[in-house]
Amino acid sequence: MDKALVLASSSPYRREILDKLGFAYRSKKPDVDETPLPTESPEALVARLAESKARSLANYFHNALIIGSDQVAVLDGQIIGKPGTKAKAMEQLQNASGRCVTFLTGLSLYNTETRQAQTEVVPYKVYFRQLNSGMIDRYLEREQPFNCAGSFKSEALGIVLFDKLEGEDPNTLIGLPLIRLVRMLEQEGIEVL
C-alpha cells in the first residue's frame, strides 16, 4: 500500500477490529467536539462526527487514508450515551429490557491527497431479553461496562443480555464496520486480499 493508513481513534476496541485486516497502520486520537447540533438526528450526528474525526488528522498525516468512526445507541429516537456510573448503567439496561436498541455507526474514509471522504452510517439492532434487576446488577458487577454506549460489551459477557442481534456486520456493534470499510478501501484501490 503506497498510502499510510491511519485510525482516527484511541479506542482499543476499534484497534482490535482493524487489526483483523492485517494492515500496518497508525492511530491518533482526534480532537473533535462531539456535541450534537440543535435538531441534529442521530444518523446525521454520527456521519458528521466520523468524517470530522478523519478530517481532523489531515494536517498530521500526508498521503494517507484516515479512518474516522463514531457510534451512538438509540432507543425511542433518543441517544443513549456511555453511562459513566453503575446507577446510570442500571437505568439504561432497565429501559432496554425487552426492547430493541439501534446502534448507528458512522464510518468515514478520508483521502488526504484528493481531500475526498467516503462516509456512511451503518445500523445494527440489538434485541434485549427481559431483564430483572438482579440479572442487571450481577452483569454490571462482573463486567463494569460504564464506558460503553448502551451499558454492555457484546464481545464479552454482555451477549447474555440479548435475544438476538440483527445487522450485516457484527464488528459494527463494537464500533468499526469492517465490511463497509473494506469496500471503501477498495474504492481507493486498496485490495485487502
SS3 letters across 42-111: HHHHHHHHHHHHHHHCCCCCCCEEEEEEEEEEEECCEEECCCCCHHHHHHHHHHHCCCEEEEEEEEEEEE
Whole-number Å distance between alpha carbons of 121 and 64: 22
User: How many helices (H) does the chain have, and how many strands (E)?
Assistant: 6, 7
Query: Which option is the CATH number for 4-187: 1.10.10.10, 3.90.950.10, 1.10.3720.10, 3.30.40.10?
Result: 3.90.950.10
C-alpha separations of 182 from 59, 124, 185 in Å:
24, 18, 5
Whole-number Å distance between alpha carbons of 190 and 40: 33
What's the pLDDT tens digit per position in 145-172? 998 888 988 888 999 999 999 999 999 9
What's the pLDDT tens digit per position in 48-63? 999 999 999 999 999 9
Whether 33 sits among the annotated catalytic residues: the reply is no
Whole-number Å distance between alpha carbons of 87 and 46: 26
Show Cβ contacts of residue 129 under 8 Å, excluding neighbours closer than 6 positions.
97, 98, 161, 162, 163
Catalytic hit among 19, 31, 33, 70: 70
Q: What is the pLDDT of residue 147?
A: 87
Instruction: Please say if the pLDDT value at position 1 is more than 80.
Output: no
What's the pLDDT tens digit per position in 103-134? 999 999 999 999 999 999 999 999 999 999 99
